[in-house]
């Protein structure tokens, strides 16, 4: 049975396919390793993230956006404690996760969640109309006098879809993230956009952010998720 979660978070988009390798070894003593709470029980993995060659931003932007996505992806799938932290300025990050109801967590389950397809869907009247492949870019901006917005551009398919649905002024376009497949599918409402004008140019300005951080989070995740990344679990430990 699929699970629907209503979290009006500023987050999202499609996180592409992953590849993994894993081997058991002691985690290296590096400054980027997260400080774990006393008596932590769970799995700690060190991951190498490789944006693909089509990415137009910086690797740091992609990795930071991916970590933001994964933090609440684990939360949405029942994990009670998640620490995800960049390893300095490298393209590595740490993920330490635990689940209060289960002290026998296996690394294979953590990898399964990392490997779950992650998608974004724009829905109108409950029907998907746009996905992550239709998004070209997103930027957080400040419009006078002091409005925090996210400015998005779309490809031809996304432009056609916007042109059609935005004729319905006052109705809503919902943005959902979809994690997993089949019985493990988790759907999360992350943003509810009220149609304010008929859009014909393939450019959408989204309002309603109470801070620059909120707008930057959404823009960063959109950019992180619109193209695939390769993630490699390079080492891990299990603390049970």
CATH number of the domain that residue 85 is part of: 3.30.70
Considering the domain boundaries, does residue 216 fall inside one?
yes
Considering the domain boundaries, does residue 155 fall inside one?
yes
Considering the domain boundaries, does residue 7 fall inside one?
no
| pLDDT score, position 22 | 36
Considering the domain boundaries, does residue 10 fall inside one?
no
User: What is the length of the chain?
Assistant: 240
Cα separation, 217 vs 208, whole angstroms: 13
Lowest mean pLDDT among 67-71, 146-150, 201-205: 67-71
| pLDDT score, position 233 | 87
| pLDDT score, position 31 | 54
Considering the domain boundaries, does residue 89 fall inside one?
yes
| pLDDT score, position 6 | 39
The two three-digit tokens of residue 132, written as one number: 């992550």
Same domain as 162, residue 139: yes
**Which residue, chain included where needed, has tokens 């894993």?**
22
Same domain as 164, residue 123: yes
Same domain as 135, residue 199: yes
| pLDDT score, position 191 | 86
**Which residue, chain included where needed, has tokens 């988009």?**
13
Same domain as 134, residue 88: no
Same domain as 221, residue 123: yes
Same domain as 188, residue 153: yes
Quick one: what percent of the chain has pLDDT higher than 90?
24
Residue 123 structural domain: 119-225
Same domain as 35, residue 98: yes
Predicted confidence (pLDDT) per residue in 92-117, tens digit: 899 999 876 666 677 888 887 776 65
Same domain as 185, residue 150: yes
Binned at pLDDT 50, 70 and 90, residue 238 comes out as: confident
Considering the domain boundaries, does residue 5 fall inside one?
no
Other Cβ atoms closer than 10 A to 70: 22
How many domains does one find in the chain?
2
The answer to whether the CB of 109 falls within 8 A of the CB of 187 is: no
Same domain as 215, residue 141: yes
Lowest mean pLDDT among 22-36, 137-151, 152-166, 192-206: 22-36
Considering the domain boundaries, does residue 57 fall inside one?
yes
Res. 17: pLDDT tops 70: no
Considering the domain boundaries, does residue 46 fall inside one?
yes
CATH of the domain at 139: 3.30.1360.200
Same domain as 81, residue 150: no
Same domain as 80, residue 110: yes
pTM over 0.75: no
Res. 56: pLDDT tops 60: no
């Amino acid at each position: 049975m699929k699970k629907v979660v209503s979290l009006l978070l500023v987050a999202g988009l499609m996180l592409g396919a992953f590849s993994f390798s894993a081997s058991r070894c002691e985690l290296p003593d590096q400054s980027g390793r997260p400080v774990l709470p006393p008596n932590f029980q769970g799995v700690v993995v060190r991951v190498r993230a490789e944006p693909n060659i089509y990415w137009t931003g910086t690797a740091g932007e992609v990795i930071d956006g991916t970590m933001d996505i994964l933090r609440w992806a684990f939360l949405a799938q029942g994990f009670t404690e998640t620490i995800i932290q960049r390893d300095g300025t490298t393209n590595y990050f740490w993920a330490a996760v635990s689940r209060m109801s289960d002290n026998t967590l296996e690394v294979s389950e953590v990898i399964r969640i990392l490997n779950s397809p992650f998608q974004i869907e724009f829905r109108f009247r409950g029907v998907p109309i746009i996905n992550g492949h239709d998004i070209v870019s997103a930027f957080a901006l400040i419009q006078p006098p002091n409005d925090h917005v996210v400015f998005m551009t779309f490809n031809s398919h996304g432009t056609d879809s916007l042109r059609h649905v935005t004729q319905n002024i006052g109705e809503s376009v919902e943005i959902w993230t979809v994690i997993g497949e089949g019985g493990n599918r988790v759907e999360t409402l992350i943003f509810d956009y009220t149609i304010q004008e008929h859009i014909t140019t393939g450019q959408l300005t989204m309002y309603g952010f109470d801070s620059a951080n909120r707008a930057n989070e959404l823009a960063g995740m959109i950019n992180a998720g619109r193209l695939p990344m390769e993630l490699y679990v390079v080492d891990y430990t299990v603390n049970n």
